[in-house]
Structure 1
């Protein structure tokens, strides 16, 4: 009887995850191309984005440190360390959990390259144990320019945190990212993995010993990526370091932070500024303790059953990054399902949310994929004709498709009534950013992983 029940559950899971009409492997390929289009610095010889070249090669710290590399945040050319680090943590988590999806899609080497591109930059930015650059470029200066990053001709100041101007959130998130990167490369490149882990430990100690909000040190960040607390990042970093090291001290500290900062309460979202849901689910996976398992379930049950939704079924959390918010909760609830919490319900929910973005809503929200995808993402470089043609604000104002296809970019998305405007100037709908794609890509990998798992179980 039990064997029949197990076979029935496997068959149900297979039906749920195989029901999608969308090629998740192709979506992974495209999303990784989006990250390649966002690269700053000296591009590799195998650059796959023909309309991109070397850029911002003079990025330097206040004492001349080399800060080239990393990723441009959005359609502009500022490098924000906080969101870049959050993006890297989520991409790494998705790769660690669903590597088979990347391998089946033929994208494993590109995923590793995307993750390492960020890891290399964070190591450059961490110029001493208690000193971390968290932003390159001035947003107000940057927004006077519309064009290609290759043509940037403005001052690009660099901003950092240190013992006199701490940022526990920024240092903590960067520590989490590098701990996650170290896990990704543990078997592939052990030397690099160890280097990332050493930087992660130093950054976590810096974050713990010198407390503060990073946007108080890096004033320009407050306008766009304000951080409202740092308790979640301290806990997040300690949990990731425990996952990377198995050192019980890190778990003790994570649990101490969890209690001190009252992270047991149910959050409403999961994104770069609010990591609590991710903390709860990661600790549930690492410890299997009832408190964390129950907290993870409370978040996902609320999200699936009670969170506000659009008429077509998209979880609606915020008008900025509507799809990012939905994709992020889809991903972390896939992680909860992997921990054995309501797996069928959460996996079906994740598939519904991701498939809405890929076409179930009546259109695709991923540039270059599916039916009626966005043609005018709010992205300066892709709005330009190929060089040597000039590019400026005329390109922003010209009501036509972006000449360069920003493959794989997930746009901000529709409003609470599923209404969407595909116009470059309507950034509330058509913004693209590093963090918009991170949870989305990892959720897509999770759904592809479930397909592979279900097909294998059916076969045997």
Structure 2
């Protein structure tokens, strides 16, 4: 083979060793060796598969600075045709695959609406309008509700809440009488709680304290909320052990509520109350109560550690809270700690039923914690808690084996036989007795009223859901479950990006506003 650049080499019938030459190399103008390891690199197209140029191949321009000629010789036309057929078949197969990918429905294509969290938040909030008792506002978006429970007030005790759930066929109550709330006329007894209901007191203190921060612009109202919270907290945390306990311990307080909403302790509620009172007042004595009585992990305390570390003597309990919160958040992702359905729904209390209320709250807490880490630009402590939030809500809003949205009114397929008296009895101006209302409960027809925004209890541990009114473990919504739903939807909702933020981080969290009254580290 000549060594000069630009030379032309042809195959001859013999060589110096007497063997025929079948494949040859040509040196390109760029000084590179052209490939000829295969017989198809030495083929000359000479049987009119393509039109011949009138000017010949020498007239075609080259990608290099000078053209390079080399002759290709067909040694077996049958193999070449087979090669062409195979090549064309592969090309068509690739084209068909691309078309399938582009035009066939994707796995979750029918759940695109589940990404519309703004719509989901608005709908979830309307559920609370459907739960109101007393004089009903005329401007409510729920048009199948009206005044209810107007006779609940006891003239002697001046209480205006609670009801009865005792079993007894001859005594109508909230459980066995299937009437619209607007038509209730049976007795609804009142329960009265003293200072021994520390769990209830703690929740009320926390709510009043948090509300004082929300309404801080209304200084008079905000101060009244704080004053009431401090007074109640003092009563609930007296040193006298007889003054503390759960509401379920006292018959007059717990009443029939113990059958449905049992309480296992009160310490966590008082820690929760003390934490919010600290934020509402800046008084470290409340945080000291939390420090000495702290036993459980709280995301709220973790926020205090991350964004407003007070140092000694609180750093130990705050660090412990952070470590425990890390463990809880990451445990949501562990198949060893919590079970999951085959469809991916986390089962925090598999024997309790109604799994969605727990998974929704877990989604909220994990997303909030993930946002804290993002604000800190922390990567070493992440275990994917933001992923579990997205998966849980895609599941709740329709991405599940039943292909059903468990929030009523959202999406194309959702429960239509919700266990809810206002939803399953028509609002037609007719009075229905308890017995007459029973026929509506047993009807196979969908509810005449759509309880928009209500999240039902959810499926069983096998992802199976029964849409029937007489199956409350599947179809009953609750205020507590919708509270977790709304919190998580807001947490997952993408906030507007702040153009002035060079790092692009604006998670909708007021990083410091909650600490406006809190002292700084010494």
Question: Normalized against structure 1, the TM-score is what?
Answer: 0.72
Structure 1: gaps (5+ residues): 1-18, 68-134, 264-276
User: Which residue of the partner structure matches residue 173 of structure 1?
Assistant: 203
User: Which residue of the partner structure matches residue 292 of structure 2?
Assistant: 256
Q: Is the 8 A contact 2:409 2:453 kept in 1?
A: yes
Question: Normalized against structure 2, the TM-score is what?
Answer: 0.64
User: Which residue of the partner structure matches residue 170 of structure 2?
Assistant: none
1-structure distance, mates of 2:398, 2:342: 15
Shift of 1:41: 0.7
Shift of 1:20: 8.2
User: Which of 310, 323, 327 is equivalent to 1:298?
Assistant: 327
Q: Is the 8 A contact 1:62 1:158 kept in 2?
A: no
More displaced stretch, 330-339 vs 27-36? 330-339
User: Which of 343, 346, 360 is equivalent to 1:312?
Assistant: 343
User: Which of 376, 383, 406 is equivalent to 2:451?
Assistant: 406
User: Which residue of the partner structure matches residue 22 of structure 2?
Assistant: none
Shift of 1:170: 0.8
More displaced stretch, 237-246 vs 281-290? 281-290
2-structure distance, mates of 1:148, 1:22: 35
More displaced stretch, 324-333 vs 56-65? 56-65
Shift of 1:453: 4.2
2-structure distance, mates of 1:45, 1:302: 46
2-structure distance, mates of 1:343, 1:63: 57
Structure 2: gaps (5+ residues): 1-111, 167-172, 307-317, 505-522
> Compared with structure 1, are the counterparts of its residues 459 and 236 closer, same or farther at alpha carbon in structure 2 (3 Å cutoff)?
closer
Task: Map 1:260-275 to 2 at 5 A.
Answer: 262-263=295-296
User: Which of 135, 144, 151 is equivalent to 2:176?
Assistant: 144
User: Which of 352, 365, 380 is equivalent to 1:332?
Assistant: 365
User: Which of 370, 386, 396 is equivalent to 2:441?
Assistant: 396
User: Which residue of the partner structure matches residue 200 of structure 1?
Assistant: 229
> Compared with structure 1, are the counterparts of its residues 142 and 255 closer, same or farther at alpha carbon in structure 2 (3 Å cutoff)?
same
1-structure distance, mates of 2:496, 2:353: 33
Task: Map 1:97-176 to 2 at 5 A.
Answer: 136-140=162-166, 141-163=173-195, 166-176=196-206
2-structure distance, mates of 1:31, 1:379: 16
More displaced stretch, 223-232 vs 58-67? 58-67
Q: Is the 8 A contact 1:20 1:355 kept in 2?
A: no
2-structure distance, mates of 1:330, 1:348: 9
Q: Which has the higher contact order (CA 8 A, sep 6+)?
A: 1
Deviations, residues 188-230 of structure 1 (Å, cap 9, x unaligned):
x333322222222222222212201101222322111110011
Q: Is the 8 A contact 2:114 2:411 kept in 1?
A: no
2-structure distance, mates of 1:65, 1:378: 31
Shift of 1:250: 0.8
> Compared with structure 1, are the counterparts of its residues 428 and 457 closer, same or farther at alpha carbon in structure 2 (3 Å cutoff)?
farther
Deviations, residues 237-288 of structure 1 (Å, cap 9, x unaligned):
1011112222111111111111xxx33xxxxxxxxxxxxx5xx211111234
Shift of 1:60: 2.1
Segments ≥4 residues shifted beyond 6 Å: 454-460
> Compared with structure 1, are the counterparts of its residues 451 and 458 closer, same or farther at alpha carbon in structure 2 (3 Å cutoff)?
farther
User: Which of 391, 395, 398 is equivalent to 1:356?
Assistant: 395
Shift of 1:64: 3.8
User: Which residue of the partner structure matches residue 346 of structure 1?
Assistant: 385
Q: Between Structure 1 and Structure 2, how many residues are aligned? A: 353
Q: Is the 8 A contact 2:205 2:229 kept in 1?
A: yes
> Compared with structure 1, are the counterparts of its residues 381 and 248 closer, same or farther at alpha carbon in structure 2 (3 Å cutoff)?
same
User: Which of 360, 378, 385 is equivalent to 2:426?
Assistant: 385
Shift of 1:58: 2.3
| Structure 1 vs Structure 2 CA RMSD | 2.2
**Secondary structure at 2:445's aligned position in 1?**
coil
Q: Is the 8 A contact 2:159 2:190 kept in 1?
A: no
**Secondary structure at 1:159's aligned position in 2?**
coil
Structure number with the higher helix fraction is 1
2-structure distance, mates of 1:413, 1:54: 30
Say yes or no: does 1:447 pair with 2:479: no
Shift of 1:21: 4.6
Select the structure of larger CA radius of gyration.
2
> Compared with structure 1, are the counterparts of its residues 62 and 200 closer, same or farther at alpha carbon in structure 2 (3 Å cutoff)?
farther
**Secondary structure at 1:178's aligned position in 2?**
helix
**Secondary structure at 1:60's aligned position in 2?**
coil
Q: Is the 8 A contact 1:243 1:286 kept in 2?
A: no
User: Which of 135, 147, 153 is equivalent to 1:42?
Assistant: 135
Q: Is the 8 A contact 2:206 2:229 kept in 1?
A: yes
